[in-house]
């Protein structure tokens, strides 16, 4: 199977120092330098030699082999239960019902402890368990299985309002600005999103706005190469607002459907860096008053209750409109999903259930809860 690689461009001549950002805002025709650009079908047609016509049966056999190889290369997409059943939260709930299937106050006391330990939150856990206790005393539950079913319904009810998938079809380009603290998997999440949108047939561009962390730009370029999408960058220590402005200008001129902008990880207590997010937003609005169309905050699912204060600060400073919660497959703190839903009501767009691109899933409240609870008291 032939692969076409982009020809390495010649060494560019020295260019004069770029004008200030405000001047470039007013100059709509300013050229943007890309680290990579898509190879058009016309270019390939001009450079590729014509292939001899193969017999029909041989071509059909070759296509079958290629399809089989492509299918084999795809990672196996495991179910939510398979991904979540090994988490500490799921294990504690499963162990609780299997070990103590009797319908009594002891079961509910242990359930409340399990929920609080998993960072559902004291108030939410107490409210949920006390409601179940009242119903149990009214003899609404015939056995522990009935209580388990009621618990499922309550947990789904907590999460259902924040089950709001991201719709990127409302603007072109649709600008996604990703934010979060250090080490939450922000750049990796961007790469997985690029893969998802590309698989949906949408053109994607990435903006390397994390100019602070060493190797962050190169990491994003690697994801760009892997997904065959262009990346706009200016190197480490460049002005992040300038990089993202250039990327938005380029995406508009090319008709790109989705622009995903990376930003430097920062603690919610770092006032100067938090203010930079506001500057990025103001600069984008000079080209598109509606940009960014989504401010997507990436949260580490192992963070627990600390995620509450993080989201509160980023929401107030950067105007967060959606959440991505990563690393839920191995954490004992998965209950923070319920705490976030109860505290903020912000849409949970995606959750990370593993390392592969297919493990970034559109959030599904029922599938998530079912992955945490035992299928039955028989296991």
In a domain, 67, yes or no: no
Same domain assignment for residues 209 and 357: yes
Same domain assignment for residues 124 and 215: no
C-beta of residue 181 within 8 angstroms of C-beta of residue 317? no
| Sheet of strand 360-362, all strands in order from the earlier edge strand to the far edge | 231-232, 204-207, 258-261, 174-179, 294-300, 322-326, 348-352, 360-362
CA distance 207 to 244: 6
Q: Where are the alpha helices (DSSP H) in 138-270?
A: 144-159, 186-199, 216-227, 240-254
Same domain assignment for residues 184 and 154: no
Same domain assignment for residues 156 and 180: no
Same domain assignment for residues 271 and 301: yes
Total length of the chain: 379
pTM of the model: 0.77
Q: Comparing C-alpha atoms, which of 231, 230, 242 is closest to residue 23?
A: 242
Out of 162, 187, 214, a domain closes at 162
Out of 110, 131, 162, a domain closes at 162
Same domain assignment for residues 283 and 357: yes
The tally of domains found in the chain comes to 2
Same domain assignment for residues 125 and 248: no
Q: Tell me the two tokens of residue 44.
A: 């390939």
pLDDT per residue, tens digit, the chain (379 aa), is: 433 334 344 454 454 455 554 444 444 333 344 554 433 333 333 333 444 444 444 444 444 443 444 443 445 567 887 777 767 788 888 888 776 568 889 989 999 999 998 888 898 899 999 999 999 999 999 888 899 999 999 999 999 999 999 999 999 999 999 999 988 889 999 999 999 999 999 999 999 999 888 788 999 999 999 999 999 999 778 899 999 999 999 999 999 999 999 998 877 556 666 778 888 999 999 999 999 999 999 999 888 888 999 999 899 888 999 999 998 877 667 788 999 999 999 999 999 988 888 889 999 999 999 988 887 654 4
Vertex 216: Cα angle to 210 and 219 (nearest 5): 130
The pLDDT score that the predictor gives to residue 102 is 81
Same domain assignment for residues 224 and 346: yes
* CATH (domain of 305): 3.40.50.300
In a domain, 345, yes or no: yes
C-beta of residue 308 within 8 angstroms of C-beta of residue 237? no
CA distance 322 to 297: 6
CA distance 339 to 67: 44
Task: Tell me how many helices (H) and strands (E) the chain has.
Answer: 15, 8
Same domain assignment for residues 322 and 255: yes
Same domain assignment for residues 189 and 158: no
* CATH (domain of 136): 1.20.120.140
In a domain, 76, yes or no: no
Same domain assignment for residues 204 and 322: yes
Out of 133, 162, 191, a domain closes at 162
In a domain, 168, yes or no: no
In a domain, 33, yes or no: no
Q: CA torsion angle for 115, 379, 377, 91 (degrees, to 10)?
A: -10
Same domain assignment for residues 321 and 181: yes
The pLDDT score that the predictor gives to residue 175 is 98
The set of residues, in sequence order, having a beta carbon less than 8 Å from that of 117 and lying 6+ positions away, is 92, 332, 335
Q: Comparing C-alpha atoms, which of 331, 378, 370, 353 is closest to residue 151?
A: 370
In a domain, 264, yes or no: yes
CA distance 246 to 250: 6
The set of residues, in sequence order, having a beta carbon less than 8 Å from that of 278 and lying 6+ positions away, is 317, 318
In a domain, 375, yes or no: no
In a domain, 372, yes or no: no
Sign, CA torsion 84/86/87/89: positive
119 vs 90, 308, 332, 351, CA distance in Å? 13, 10, 8, 17
Domain range for 316: 174-363
Classify 167 as helix, strand or coil: coil
């Amino acid at each position: 199977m032939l692969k076409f690689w982009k020809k390495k461009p010649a060494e560019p001549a020295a260019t004069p120092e770029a004008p200030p950002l405000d001047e470039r805002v007013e100059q709509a025709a300013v050229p943007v330098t890309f680290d990579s650009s898509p190879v058009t079908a016309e270019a390939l047609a001009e450079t590729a030699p014509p292939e001899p016509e193969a017999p029909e049966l041989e071509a059909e056999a070759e296509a079958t082999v290629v399809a089989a190889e492509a299918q084999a290369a795809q990672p196996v997409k495991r179910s939510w239960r398979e991904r979540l059943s090994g988490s500490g939260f799921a294990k504690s709930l499963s162990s609780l019902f299997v070990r103590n299937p009797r319908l009594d106050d002891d079961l509910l006391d242990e359930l409340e402890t399990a929920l609080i330990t998993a960072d559902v939150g004291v108030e939410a856990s107490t409210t949920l368990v006390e409601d179940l206790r009242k119903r149990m005393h009214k003899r609404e539950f015939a056995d522990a299985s009935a209580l388990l079913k009621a618990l499922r319904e309550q947990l789904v009810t907590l999460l259902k309002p924040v089950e709001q998938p991201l719709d990127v079809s409302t603007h072109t380009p649709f600008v996604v600005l990703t934010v979060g603290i250090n080490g939450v998997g922000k750049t990796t999440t961007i790469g997985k999103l690029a893969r998802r949108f590309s698989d949906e047939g949408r053109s994607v561009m990435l903006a390397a706005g994390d100019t602070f962390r060493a190797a962050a730009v190169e990491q994003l370029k690697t994801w760009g190469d892997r997904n065959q999408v262009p990346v706009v960058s200016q190197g480490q220590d460049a002005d992040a607002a300038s990089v993202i402005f250039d990327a938005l200008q380029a995406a508009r001129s090319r008709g790109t459907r989705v622009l995903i902008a990376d930003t430097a990880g920062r603690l919610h207590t770092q006032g100067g860096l938090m203010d930079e997010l506001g500057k990025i937003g103001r600069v984008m609005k000079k080209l598109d008053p509606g940009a960014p169309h989504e401010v997507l905050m990436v949260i580490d699912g192992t963070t627990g209750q600390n995620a509450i204060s993080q989201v509160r600060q980023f929401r107030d400073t950067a105007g967060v409109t959606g959440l991505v919660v990563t690393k839920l497959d191995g954490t004992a703190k998965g209950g923070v999903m319920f705490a976030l839903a109860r505290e903020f009501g912000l849409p949970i767009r995606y959750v990370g259930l593993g390392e592969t691109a297919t493990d970034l899933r559109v959030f599904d409240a029922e599938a998530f809860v079912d992955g945490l609870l035992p299928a039955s008291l028989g296991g």
